[in-house]
Amino acid sequence: MLTIEEVKTRLKNKYQSAVKKFEQPYGTRLYADIDKSKVREISNEIIGMGGRYLVSVGYDNIARDKTLGLIHAFSLDRDDIFVCLRTAAPVDNPTFDSITPDIPNAGWSEREYMDLLGMKFSGHPKPKRLILADDWPEGVYPLRKEVPWNLMPPPAENVAYQLDEAPEGCTTIPVGPFHPTLHEPAHFAVYVDGETIKGCDYRGFMVHRGLEKLCQTQLTYNEIPFVAERICGICGSVHATSYSQAVEMAAGFRISRRAEFIRTIMLEIERVHSHLLWLGVAGHLIGFDTIFMQAWRVREAIMWFGEKLTGNRKTYGMIVVGGVRRDISPELKDELLGILKTIEKELVTIHKAIVGDSSIHRRTKGVGRITTDETRLWSLVGPVARARGVDIDTRRDHPYAAYDEMRFDVPVVDSCDVWGTVVVRILETFEAIKIIRQALDTMPAGPTMTEFAEDIKPYQHAITAVEAPRGEVVHYLISGEENRPERWRVRAPTYPNLQGVPAMLLGDQFADLPIIIGSIDPCFSCTDRVVKVDIRSGRISNLTGGELETISRAKKLAGR
Amino acid sequence: MLAKLCKKAFPRSLWAYHCNAGACNGCDIEILNVLTPYYDIERFGMKLVASPRHADVMLISGAVTRPTFPLVKKAYEAIPEPKLVFGIGSCAAGGGCWFDCYNVTGGADKAVPVNYIIPGCPPRPEAIIYGVALALGLVEKKASPVELKQVEFPVDMYLKNKAYEERDVIYQVLNR
């Protein structure tokens, strides 16, 4: 176990003057201002301490000191610490060292800021556009303050996707953007040799709505939770909770205990309905429609309860800055307990049916394989990582809301395939039911809303993580003037997980593609969320299988 | 009028193609939900199909984003005539809360002609079934249209109030 002081001492001793300043406004968060030439070394040092890469945040600081800021955030899961390395570069030469060669998961974040803020990363293995379209004019960076939120450069017609060359002897099969197995628009170019997948290129970010920019320029702190819920229609409360916690942390303020319990209950209700939904969709993807129908029938009860409690079946609008909007009355509590009993009973039946069905075993076992080491290398999160033997869960590692009082297990299996994700999700649903029962039993009395005593000071940094049904959601917030955030960065769980998909696809049959992509429970609207920018034609891509292999091998040789 | 036409044009089962043009998943899940046992839209002979070429109806969800804009148009052209287009949810109706963002074109009607709009964020499955049934003339319309008139701001009232206020000020000055 490391303490935050030990982390500080280690960095200070090893890098001396390269670490300029430490800030520690909140017990478990460490912000270190570092020299930009040492970014890569210090990042590797944090990874060496057992850190896991979360996200990079770029922000526009031109008005204050003519720089562009960059923050790399890491989580030390065993020690309940978040470490954020802050650095900056002058706006006329915004070049940073890329950390992608060591941490492949940072690839998308860095490409995002190449597009949105005009940063440059030396040593990036694939400095292509990720978010902006080919017809977006050069030199217009939508996340810079000078660019208005509603700027719309005229679109160009018929710009083709700029995809990678297919490997030698392979055929390209386009999947998407509108495809029956993808419920959201995204384009996969799959390179196959016969039936075997040899590589994959991804062009997505088609659901990018520019929401981060909207919230940073137009809305106020109190309005944003409702927009945050609309990042994703399935895990809306997760984003609202994460955002609200970030604002509360920046303000240095605690909400009432009862509100924290109600937040916990809302998050777990969402997990129950989301996992049942995924179970149905997964059944549908492998052609087992009975599971689809049954899982969604069971799920319906919790949707109705959600409507009774909050007024809407989804997009609850329940969680706001400072607490929650509505209280759970004793009658609603009894009703929820009854519903949970029914769901648990029926889920046991579904579980038995799935475990006993040989066709599901054959479709999912050994499919989408990726080893535990590769999972760590790619910083995958959520059930996808837990099905590959990586024991991480934000609820336990970095407790928030009322999770510090809850007792629950974190199911981890090491089958390293799609079957593992099925098992993990079913077991997690039982755990979620357990947590809701505990929370209802031990919920203290008190107000649901707490008023802020004073204004939020500008330029406070806050990072929060919340365990969504799909994995870990990270929100980074820099408070600003005019009652709105200066910068708000959302990282949804699909963002890292989708980067690991080419590794999972490698060597599998083309017919297994839908269930492998489906097994990460993809949510492109979360991934593409906010920041994004334009679109239309796309260019993008992930690492191809070949590059991935090269990196993985290099890593293995390097002994990581 | 349109309902009568629809009855004639779509006398049998209605096949729907679902097109997600940048929605948050909320509306998409509700569209899938109408297939499940509680709502069971197949009792009306409706079902979701994978290809626009098989479809009679297009369900668009989401504020059409810039990258999906040409694709939505292409999908619409692929549907054989006669065809109907439904905009599902607030985003398809007019762009939702991000109607003027840099990456959003602002509503399904910017891309293709929309015949019916089912509002809600997201609309309930019942609302989707009711909307489609209404379009086909399976149910009676329950609400009558309300006409709203632009009312001019009563200028005299404003002046009158102002005069009273000024008069009060004068009294205050006089009494002092």
DSSP for A436-478, please give it.
Answer: HHHHHHHPPP--SB---SSPPPTT-EEEEEEEETTEEEEEEEE
Q: Of A99, A129, A104, A124, which Cα lies nearest the Cα of A114?
A: A129
- Cβ-defined contact of A297 to B37 (cutoff 8 Å): yes
- Cβ-defined contact of B26 to A234 (cutoff 8 Å): yes
Residue A321: which residues within 8 A CB-CB, separation 6 or more?
A221, A222, A225, A243, A244, A247, A248, A452
Q: What angle in degrees, to the nearest 10, is found between the helix axes of A330-355 and A257-285?
A: 30
Provide the residue ranges of all domains of chain B, joining segments of one domain with +: 2-136
- Cβ-defined contact of B19 to A142 (cutoff 8 Å): no
Is the bond preceding residue A177 a cis peptide, omega within 30 degrees?
yes
Write down the pLDDT at residue A512: 86
User: Where in chain A is CATH 3.30.460.80?
Assistant: 1-125
CATH topology of domain A220-488: Cytochrome-c3 Hydrogenase; chain B (1.10.645)
Residue A9: which residues within 8 A CB-CB, separation 6 or more?
none
Quickly state the pLDDT bin for B174 (edges 50, 70, 90): low
Residues A343, A351 contacting (CB under 8 angstroms): no
Write down the pLDDT at residue A287: 86
- Cβ-defined contact of A133 to B66 (cutoff 8 Å): yes
Statement: residue A341 has pLDDT above 60: yes
Sign of the alpha-carbon torsion through B114, B120, B123, B126: negative
DSSP letter (8 states) at residue A314: S
Other C-beta atoms lying within 10 Å of the C-beta of residue B148: 6
**A55 strand-pairing partners:** A73
Quickly state the pLDDT bin for A529 (edges 50, 70, 90): low
- Select the residue from A159, A175, A178 to test the B interface by mutation, using most B Cβ atoms within 10 A: A178
Residue A513: which residues within 8 A CB-CB, separation 6 or more?
A175, A181, A188, A190, A197, A505
**A192 strand-pairing partners:** A171, A197
Write down the pLDDT at residue A535: 30
What are the chain A neighbours of B63 within 8 Å (beta carbons)? Answer: 209
Residues A510, A192 contacting (CB under 8 angstroms): yes
Minimal-distance CA residue of chain B relative to A231: B24
What are the chain A neighbours of B103 within 8 Å (beta carbons)? Answer: 208-210, 532-535
Structural domain B2-136, CATH architecture: 3-Layer(aba) Sandwich (3.40)
Minimal-distance CA residue of chain B relative to A295: B36
Write down the pLDDT at residue A541: 37
- A547-556: average pLDDT: 46
What are the chain B neighbours of A314 within 8 Å (beta carbons)? Answer: 26, 29-30, 122
Q: Rounded to whole angstroms, how far apart are CA atoms A95 and A114?
A: 10
Grouping H, G, I as helix, E, B as strand and the rest as coil, residue A19 is strand
Tokens of A400: 């928030």
Write down the pLDDT at residue B176: 58
Q: If you average pLDDT over every residue of chain A, what do you get?
A: 86
Q: Which residue has the higher pLDDT, A499 or A341?
A: A341
How far is C-alpha A203 from the geometric centre of its chain's CA atoms?
18
Q: In the β-sheet with A171-175, what is the strand arrangement from edge to edge?
A: A171-175, A187-193, A196-203
What are the chain A neighbours of B21 within 8 Å (beta carbons)? Answer: 185
- Residue A445 zone, left/alpha/beta (φ > 0; ψ -120 to 50; rest): beta
How many CB contacts within 8 angstroms connect chain A with chain B? Answer: 141
- Cβ-defined contact of B32 to A183 (cutoff 8 Å): yes
Q: What angle in degrees, to the nearest 10, is found between the helix axes of A39-48 and A4-15?
A: 140
Write down the pLDDT at residue B154: 64
The torsion angle over the Cα atoms of residues A420, A426, A428 and A431, rounded to 10 degrees, is -140
Q: Rounded to whole angstroms, how far apart are CA atoms A372 and A416?
A: 7
Q: Which residue has the higher pLDDT, A238 or B105?
A: A238
DSSP letter (8 states) at residue A18: G
Minimal-distance CA residue of chain A relative to B33: A296
Helix (H) or strand (E) holding A307, with range, is helix A289-310
Q: In the β-sheet with A19-26, what is the strand arrangement from edge to edge?
A: A19-26, A29-34, A81-90, A67-76, A51-61
Q: pLDDT per residue over A128-158, tens digit each? A: 888 877 677 888 888 888 888 888 888 776 6
- A484-495: average pLDDT: 90
Per residue, what are the HEC states of chain B? CHHHHHHHHCCCCCEEEEEECCCCCHHHHHHHHCCCCCCCHHHHCCEEECCHHHCCEEEEECCCECCCHHHHHHHHHHCCCCCEEEEEHHHHHHCHHHCCCCCECCCHHHCCCCCEEECCCCCCHHHHHHHHHHHHCCCCCCCCCCCCCCCCCCHHHHHHHHHHHHHHHHHHHHHC
Highest-confidence segment of A199-208, B50-59, B143-152? B50-59
What are the chain B neighbours of A533 within 8 Å (beta carbons)? Answer: 102-103
Minimal-distance CA residue of chain A relative to B20: A184
Q: How far is A313 from chain B (nearest CA, A)?
A: 8
What are the chain A neighbours of B75 within 8 Å (beta carbons)? Answer: 178
Write down the pLDDT at residue A244: 93
DSSP letter (8 states) at residue A509: B
Write down the pLDDT at residue B168: 64
Residue B166: which residues within 8 A CB-CB, separation 6 or more?
none
CATH topology of domain A1-125: Beta Polymerase; domain 2 (3.30.460)
| Residue B141 phi, psi (nearest 5) | -70, 130
Quickly state the pLDDT bin for A201 (edges 50, 70, 90): confident
Highest-confidence segment of A334-343, A546-555, B64-73? A334-343
Grouping H, G, I as helix, E, B as strand and the rest as coil, residue A25 is strand
Statement: residue A556 has pLDDT above 90: no
- Cβ-defined contact of B66 to A150 (cutoff 8 Å): no
Percentage of chain A modeled with pLDDT above 70 = 92
**Rg of chain B taking only CA atoms, in angstroms:** 24
Tokens of A393: 């869960």
- Cβ-defined contact of B29 to A227 (cutoff 8 Å): no
- Cβ-defined contact of A293 to B36 (cutoff 8 Å): yes
Q: pLDDT per residue over B16-32, tens digit each? A: 999 988 888 888 889 98
Smallest Cβ–Cβ distance between A535 and the set B62, B65, B98 belongs to B65
Minimal-distance CA residue of chain B relative to A155: B66
Residue A346: which residues within 8 A CB-CB, separation 6 or more?
A294, A298
What are the chain B neighbours of A346 within 8 Å (beta carbons)? Answer: none
Q: Rounded to whole angstroms, how far apart are CA atoms A465 and A472?
A: 6
Statement: residue A553 has pLDDT above 50: no
Tokens of A221: 């702190």
What are the chain A neighbours of B36 within 8 Å (beta carbons)? Answer: 280, 292-293, 296-297, 300
> Which of A246-255, A346-355, B93-102 has the weakest average pLDDT?
B93-102
What are the chain B neighbours of A534 within 8 Å (beta carbons)? Answer: 66-67, 102-103
ipTM of the shown complex = 0.83
What are the chain B neighbours of A178 within 8 Å (beta carbons)? Answer: 19-20, 71, 75
Q: How far is A366 from chain B (nearest CA, A)?
A: 28
Quickly state the pLDDT bin for B47 (edges 50, 70, 90): confident
Other C-beta atoms lying within 10 Å of the C-beta of residue A161: 18
Compute the C-alpha angle A110/A502/A212, nearest 5°.
35
User: B59-69 as b/e, with b when 16 or more CB fall inside 10 Å?
Assistant: bbbbbbbbbbb
**A487 strand-pairing partners:** A478
Write down the pLDDT at residue A537: 33
Smallest Cβ–Cβ distance between B20 and the set A183, A210, A277 belongs to A183
Q: Rounded to whole angstroms, how far apart are CA atoms B67 and B65?
A: 6
Residues A371, A417 contacting (CB under 8 angstroms): no
Q: Of B90, B86, B136, B89, which Cα lies nearest the Cα of B116?
A: B86
Helix (H) or strand (E) holding A429, with range, is helix A418-442
Write down the pLDDT at residue B1: 65
Q: Rounded to whole angstroms, how far apart are CA atoms A107 and A99?
A: 8
Write down the pLDDT at residue A444: 93
Smallest Cβ–Cβ distance between B38 and the set A234, A297, A315 belongs to A297
How far is C-alpha A311 from the geometric centre of its chain's CA atoms?
27
Highest-confidence segment of A462-466, A513-517, A538-542? A462-466
Q: What is the DSSP string of A240-294?
A: HHHHHHHHHHHHT----HHHHHHHHHHHHHHHHHHHHHHHHHHHHHTT-HHHHHH
- Determine the longest span between alpha carbons in chain B, in angstroms: 85
CA distances from A377 to A50, A100, A335, A390, A486 (A): 12, 11, 44, 11, 32
Quickly state the pLDDT bin for B46 (edges 50, 70, 90): confident
Question: How many CA atoms within 13 Å lie on the side-chain side of A325?
Answer: 16
Q: Which residue has the higher pLDDT, A353 or A452?
A: A353
Residues A336, A466 contacting (CB under 8 angstroms): no
DSSP letter (8 states) at residue A118: -
Statement: residue A401 has pLDDT above 70: yes
Number of residues that this document lists for chain A: 560
Percentage of chain A modeled with pLDDT above 90 = 41
